[in-house]
């Protein structure tokens, strides 16, 4: 489909979904965003749903301002995927041991490594810029600097909630590795600190929603936020890279006889800010639950823990600020999912997938998400499909 345009106070709201199907609270969030005096455009992806602070599945383009709540608390959250030389014929009938090995190598949830990961033992891992990256931690907000030890130990670990590590097959039977994580606790701490700072600023006192507080260009507060934001986005990128290297090491050991080879890694953020130019204007484009889909650029759009995912290439649609959805998107809250579904439902909906099937992950049950096929259909003018993947192993945080 092409987009539907809904009137907004400052700019029209371009929606790649039926507005009637969007929750009232999410629509109100979008209308609130469209009142911001700095806004130059608002695009809404087909996986749109209510989010804390700002709507998930929204692309907000502003001139001279950025809203930290529109990035979210998991700065730089995103996906990585890599195709391997393994095929379905290389896999054992029982993948439970393999899942255990992944869980042993990569801490999940609030966990962390006992010691920072030794990058020297990771096969072919590029370490250039590593020391400079950590040296720049000394320049982030003083309020969170005491978290450095935890940040170093959480590098290369999986978040909780909807974060995951998956072992997948494409439609031709080729094996892919895929994972979803972000900037861990340090990103959350930085995000919450700056949200609090923004809400105190005088120019934000008259906003329709205090969660939409912004930093304005050429101010000390904006400079401080940009510094910490871009550092956290880099942390998230490194975190996924270290995790993928650890994942590949497990695969090499468990499938030693097959001598697996890995293609280049595809990686993309979906909670972040980028400096981009549209209609002759330099804009700060915030994607919360959306990926960049520039012409020919690879992206990853996952479903839920029991459904398919997609590797895509962007079509560079300027109307969406060259963006696409970041996944299937929730159709019910976590609490609603826990009330509606049982572990029996979870086992049925994840049949054929080696994964947790206990009450602790019921909120991530496939039935709590929108159908990924419908989401993909609604954004045919944003991306083209390169590969369709189906997980056979899923590790949840």
| 123 belongs to the catalytic site | no
pLDDT in tens, 134-176: 999 999 999 999 999 999 999 999 999 899 999 999 999 999 9
Nearest by Cα to 65 from 288, 291, 318, 285: 285
The pair phi, psi for residue 207, each rounded to 5°, is -70, 150
Question: Mean of the per-residue pLDDT values for the chain?
Answer: 96
User: In 204-217, which positions are buried (b, 16+ CB within 10 angstroms) versus exposed (e)?
Assistant: beebebebbbbbbb
Does the domain spanning 4-331+369-396 belong to CATH 3.90.1860.10? yes
Q: Is the pLDDT of residue 125 over 60?
A: yes
Instruction: Cite the annotated binding site by residue number.
Output: 74, 162-166, 180, 270-271, 302-305, 309, 326-329, 396
Evaluate whether 320 touches 14 at the Cβ level (below 8 Å): yes
pLDDT in tens, 266-275: 999 999 999 9
The structural domains of the chain, with segments of one domain joined by +, span 4-331+369-396
CA distance 194 to 229: 9
Is 397 a residue whose pLDDT tops 90? Answer: no
Q: Which residues of 330-349 are buried (b: 16+ CB within 10 A; e: fewer)?
A: bbbeeeebeeebeeeebeeb
22, with CB counted inside 10 A (0-12, 13-18, 19+), is: buried
Secondary structure tally for the chain: helices H, strands E: 9, 17
Report the share of the chain in percent with pLDDT over 70: 100
Which token pair is 10? 């400052």
Q: What is the pLDDT of residue 53?
A: 83
Tokens 């539907």, located at residue: 4
pLDDT of residue 52: 85
DSSP state of 363: G
Q: What pLDDT was estimated at residue 2?
A: 83
d(CA 38, CA 10): 9
Q: Does residue 198 contact residue 214 with C-beta atoms inside 8 Å?
A: yes
Q: Evaluate if residue 228 carries a pLDDT over 80.
A: yes
Parallel/antiparallel/unpaired status of strands 13-15 and 39-49: parallel
CA 303 – CA 326 distance, rounded (Å): 9
- pLDDT at residue 128 is higher than 90: no
Q: Annotated catalytic residue: which of 113, 269, 326, 388?
A: 326
**What residues contact residue 300 under an 8 Å CB cut-off, 6+ apart?**
79, 80, 81, 178, 266, 268, 291, 309, 310, 311, 312
Per-residue model confidence as pLDDT tens digits over 6-61: 999 999 999 999 999 999 999 999 999 999 999 999 999 999 999 988 999 999 99
Q: Map tokens 């899923």 to a residue.
A: 394
Closest residue by Cα to residue 372 from 333, 332, 327, 331:
327
CA distance 214 to 197: 10
Please state, in angstroms and as integers, the Cα–Cα distance from residue 71 to each residue in 76, 81, 114, 160, following that order.
8, 22, 30, 18
pLDDT greater than 80 at residue 386: yes
pLDDT for residue 1: 56
Max CA distance (Å), the chain? 65
Confidence band for 389, pLDDT divided at 50, 70 and 90: very high
Q: pLDDT class for 370, splitting at 50, 70, 90? A: very high
What confidence score (pLDDT) does residue 368 get?
Answer: 95
Percentage of the chain modeled with pLDDT above 90: 95
Annotated binding site for GMP: 162-166, 270-271, 302-305, 309, 326-329, 396
Adjacent-strand bridge partners of 301: 310
Q: Within 10 Å of residue 111's Cβ, how many Cβ atoms?
A: 14
Binding residues for Mn(2+): 74, 163, 180, 270
- Identify which of 396, 393, 305, 397 has the alpha carbon closest to the alpha carbon of residue 97: 393
CA–CA distance, 4 with 14 (Å, rounded to integer):
6
Phi and psi torsions of 45, nearest 5° = -85, 160
Sorting pLDDT into bands at 50, 70 and 90, what band is 127? confident
């Amino acid at each position: 489909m092409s987009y539907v345009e809904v009137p907004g106070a400052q700019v029209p709201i371009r929606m790649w979904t039926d507005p009637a199907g969007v929750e009232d609270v999410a629509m109100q969030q979008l209308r609130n965003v469209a009142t911001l005096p700095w806004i130059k455009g608002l695009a809404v992806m087909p996986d749109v749903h209510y989010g804390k602070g700002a709507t998930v599945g929204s692309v907000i383009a502003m001139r001279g301002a950025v809203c930290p709540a529109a990035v979210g608390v998991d700065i730089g959250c995103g996906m990585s995927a890599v195709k391997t030389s393994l095929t379905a014929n290389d896999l054992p009938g029982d993948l439970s041991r393999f899942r255990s090995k992944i869980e042993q190598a990569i801490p999940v949830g609030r966990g962390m490594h006992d010691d920072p990961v030794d990058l020297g033992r990771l096969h072919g891992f590029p370490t250039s810029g590593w020391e400079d990256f950590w040296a720049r931690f000394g320049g982030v907000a003083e309020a969170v600097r005491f978290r450095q030890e935890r940040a170093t130990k959480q590098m290369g670990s999986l978040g909780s909630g909807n974060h995951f590590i998956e072992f997948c097959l494409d439609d031709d039977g080729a094996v892919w590795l895929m994972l979803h994580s972000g900037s861990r606790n340090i990103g959350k701490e930085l995000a919450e600190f700056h949200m609090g700072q923004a809400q105190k600023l005088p120019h934000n006192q008259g906003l329709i929603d205090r969660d939409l507080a912004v930093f304005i260009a050429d101010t000390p507060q904006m400079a401080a936020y940009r510094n910490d934001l871009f550092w956290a986005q880099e942390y998230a990128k490194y975190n996924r890279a270290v995790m993928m290297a650890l994942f590949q090491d497990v695969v090499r050991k468990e499938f030693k006889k097959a001598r697996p080879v890995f293609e280049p890694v595809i990686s993309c953020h979906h909670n972040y800010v980028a400096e981009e130019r549209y209609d002759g204007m330099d804009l700060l484009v915030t994607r919360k639950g959306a990926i960049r889909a520039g012409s020919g650029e690879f992206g990853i759009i996952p479903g839920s823990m029991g459904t398919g995912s997609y590797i895509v290439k962007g079509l560079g649609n300027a109307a969406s600020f060259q963006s696409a959805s970041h996944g299937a998107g929730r159709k019910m809250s976590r609490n609603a999912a826990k009330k509606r579904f049982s572990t029996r439902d979870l086992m049925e909906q994840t049949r054929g997938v080696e994964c947790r099937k206990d009450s602790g992950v019921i909120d991530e049950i496939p039935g709590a998400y929108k159908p990924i096929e419908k989401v993909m259909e609604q954004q045919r003018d944003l991306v083209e499909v390169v590969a369709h993947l189906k997980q056979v192993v899923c590790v949840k945080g």
